[in-house]
Amino acid sequence: MGANFGTGDPLLVLLNPQAASGLALRWRPRIESALLAMGALAEIHVSRSTDDSREQLACRPGRRVLLVGGDGSVGALLPALLAGHHTLGLVPAGTGNDLARALGLLGQSLEAAVQHAARDPARPMDLGQLRWSLVPATPGEPRPPDGAVHTAWFASSLTVGFDSVVAYRAETSPRRLPGQLHYLWAALAELRVLDAWPIRLDATPSLTDTATDATQPLHLASVLNTPSYGSGMPIAPAARVDDGLLHLLRLRQTTKPRLLGLLQRMLRGRHLGQPEVMLDDIARLTMRCDKPLPLGTDGNFIGQARWLEVSCRPAALPVVRLR
């Protein structure tokens, strides 16, 4: 489903009809009007599925892609954007919008967002690359057999542990509350079955605490490329999308009441300095766990792993950003 009009460099506009309960689709007339007013040549495509969007990107290499969606829309299409050597112009239309927040794209009109995405110069941003397997690595081997290893990319966050199951509940439950309140509701629901995972970590640079060579019982061990996740929770305030680093948040095992208090602190950005909370800058990280770890990338639950390796890929994707 598409429309072609205008003159100038060709743009591929991808509308995710599922983003923010159909917001992107309702915006289509205004997006078309904004592009016409600019005299831009644009092909607008309403995606039938993620595979459909990937096919559109594969058939049109080297385009500037105006993606109207949220973090999950971007995350699902990162492999296709990279393979096609595309430039990304994001028009925020998600429920979390943590990537758009990091890029300085929030707080502007739809028409201004379209204009910036279509015309402003792009700058490179870092991405996270994840390799993971439910099959554990053989003792003495650095990783599982290649046939058992999956690959994914993320622009904003990789969640590991408690926040992955929270994100899954938030993603699959009816949305009756906005933004962070919906995430907090999902977290409270998961507290009833609070779990911890015995994780062995190996990071470059080395982690700041002295237990890096030991198994640590953790509620979560999540990796951020942006300052926030979970609809604006300011977890890693110093993070930048072009700093050449990822940022590992660990939360040591604690009691339910204490974890609830820490979650409230995380919502307000007051968690740093608490004894259960550790935040480290990393370039590469390996995790091993005998118990399957729930995983999520950019707010989408992707599966479970007993082994994973995550690394920063500096300047991997050109993207229009105001910050």
pLDDT of residue 125: 99
- Say yes or no: 228 and 245 in one domain: yes
CB 104 within 8 Å of CB 227: no
DSSP type of residue 213: T
- Say yes or no: 8 and 146 in one domain: no
pLDDT of residue 211: 52
Token pair for 304: 């479970």
Return the top range by mean pLDDT from 9-13, 115-119, 181-185, 265-269: 115-119
What is the Cα–Cα distance from 13 to 10, expressed in whole angstroms?
10
Residue whose entry in the numeric block shows the structure tokens 């050449």: 244
- Say yes or no: 163 and 266 in one domain: yes
Q: What is the mean pLDDT of residues 116-127?
A: 97
- Say yes or no: 44 and 187 in one domain: no
What is the span of the domain harbouring residue 103? Answer: 2-120
Query: What CATH number did the domain enclosing 251 receive?
Result: 2.60.200.40
> Tens digit of pLDDT for each residue in 35-81?
999 999 999 999 999 999 999 999 999 999 999 999 999 999 999 99
- Say yes or no: 25 and 62 in one domain: yes
pLDDT of residue 3: 53
Query: What CATH number did the domain enclosing 35 receive?
Result: 3.40.50.10330
- Say yes or no: 138 and 287 in one domain: yes
What is the Cα–Cα distance from 308 to 128, expressed in whole angstroms?
13
- Say yes or no: 301 and 152 in one domain: yes
Q: Report if residue 323 sits inside a domain.
A: no
Whether residue 179 has pLDDT greater than 70 = no
Whether residue 8 has pLDDT greater than 50 = no
Q: Report if residue 321 sits inside a domain.
A: no
Beta strand spans in 276-299 (E): 277-282, 284-297
Q: Which of 52, 86, 120 is the last residue of a domain?
A: 120
* Residues in Cβ contact with 154 at an 8 Å cutoff, skipping those fewer than 6 apart: 75, 78, 127, 128, 130, 225, 297, 298
The CA angle 259-264-267, to the nearest 5 degrees, is: 125
- Say yes or no: 107 and 193 in one domain: no
CB 297 within 8 Å of CB 157: yes
Mean pLDDT score of the chain, rounded to an integer?
91
Q: Report if residue 295 sits inside a domain.
A: yes
Per the DSSP assignment, residues forming a β-bridge with 223 are: 158, 248
Query: 170 or 123, which is more confident?
Result: 123
> Tens digit of pLDDT for each residue in 246-293?
999 999 999 999 998 998 899 899 999 999 999 999 999 999 999 999
Whether residue 7 has pLDDT greater than 60 = no
- Say yes or no: 103 and 204 in one domain: no
The string of DSSP codes covering 181-204 is HHHHHHHHHHHTT---EEEEEEEE
Helices marked H in the chain: 23-26, 28-38, 50-59, 71-83, 98-102, 110-119, 162-172, 179-191, 256-268
Whether residue 187 has pLDDT greater than 60 = yes
What is the Cα–Cα distance from 85 to 33, expressed in whole angstroms?
27
Bridge-based pairing state of the strands 64-69 and 87-92: parallel
Name the 3-class secondary structure at 96. coil
- Say yes or no: 184 and 273 in one domain: yes
